[in-house]
Homo-oligomer: A and B are copies of this chain.
Amino acid sequence: MQKIFECIPNFSEGRDPSIVLECVSAVKNTEGITLLNYTSDVDHNRSVITFMGDAEAIENAAIDLCRKTTALIDLRKHCGEHPRVGALDVLPIVPLKDATLEEAIELSKRIAKRLSDECGVPTYLYEDSASAPHRKNLADVRRGGFEALPEKTKDRDWLPDFGENYHKSAGVTVVGARFFLIAYNFDLKTNDLSIAKAIAKKIRQSSGGLECVKALGVMLESENKAQVTVNLTDYRKTPLYVLTEEVRRLAHEYGTEVESAELIGLIPMRALTESAAYYLGIRDFESKTRVIEEFL
């Protein structure tokens, strides 16, 4: 059984297409890698690559990518909207097919060590790979950005997990394993932002809502529409249909409706097959034993 992981590196170049392409190519040309998607943002001056493969392929692609970003990106000259601490800024690893979170954590640690040993870029572990609770949250690890690294990497609480100090032009890289995150938006049939905000507050876990749900109410100015934008960090804890029905119910309560939902990026099959079984009313459904693709 081949264990497959997904990797979604974020790197600090979104303006020079030739550099972006060289970085994407480094990943794409690694044996055993399937490139799924990449996007660049000019304002953030940042790109995201989504790819997958087995542990060995992911490891090799991560090293190759880090060699490129270290050679081509100089953070001393970088500016952009988005917080960042590294040329190769963040490298999340997600267990996909037949792989466990524990295996993703192991893989992230091997990669973090090699980035330091072989590319000279010190690394921090975050999320489920974090070496201490205060280092779990990416925003905390990244606080102060590249510019704060001379101070931060000397603070006892913030020594890198692998390597010392920081690479003078490429900074540090934050590596970690996490479960698959579904990025999902609900467009409302209203331009009343306060309703989107109220719904977001009611569903988000941090204010007593649904488990593994992060949510914000935002305004889509170009469409004059209020939106509830959601990160669902574990669809096994809160299935997509539970989230959807709750947002629909709340929208109704506030006198409006969900117009449509938007899926950002990719989604695991089971998040959908289980929602389908719910709505179709299929009894005793288990994706694992009933969906052909589970066996292929």
Contacts and interface: CB of A to CB of B under 8 A. Distances in A.
A281 interface: yes
Report which residue of A180, A267, A272 has the largest number of chain B beta carbons within 10 angstroms of its beta carbon. Answer: A272
A273 B269 CA distance: 7
A291 B97 CA distance: 13
Contacts of A277: 272
Contact of A283 (B6, B260, B268, B296): B260
Nearest to A270: B293
Contacts of A37: 289-290
Given A269-B269, A272-B272, A272-B273, A6 B280 contact: no
Range for the number of chain A residues in contact with chain B? 35 or more
A258 B282 CA distance: 11
A231 interface: no
A97 to B, nearest CB: 5
Contact of A296 (B4, B180, B272): B4
Given A96-B292, A269-B269, A295-B34, A263 B279 contact: no
A42 interface: no
Given A275-B276, A276-B275, A276-B276, A293 B281 contact: no
Interface in A74-126: 96-97
Contacts of A281: 244, 258, 260-261
A262 interface: yes
Nearest to A97: B296
A266 interface: yes
Interface string A234-273: 0000001100100000000000001011110111110011
A283 B260 CA distance: 6
A295 to B, nearest CB: 5
6 contacts: A34-B295, A260-B281, A263-B282, A263-B290, A266-B292, A275-B276
Interface of A: 4, 6, 34, 36-37, 52, 96-97, 180, 240-241, 244, 258, 260-263, 265-269, 272-273, 275-277, 279-283, 285, 289-293, 295-296
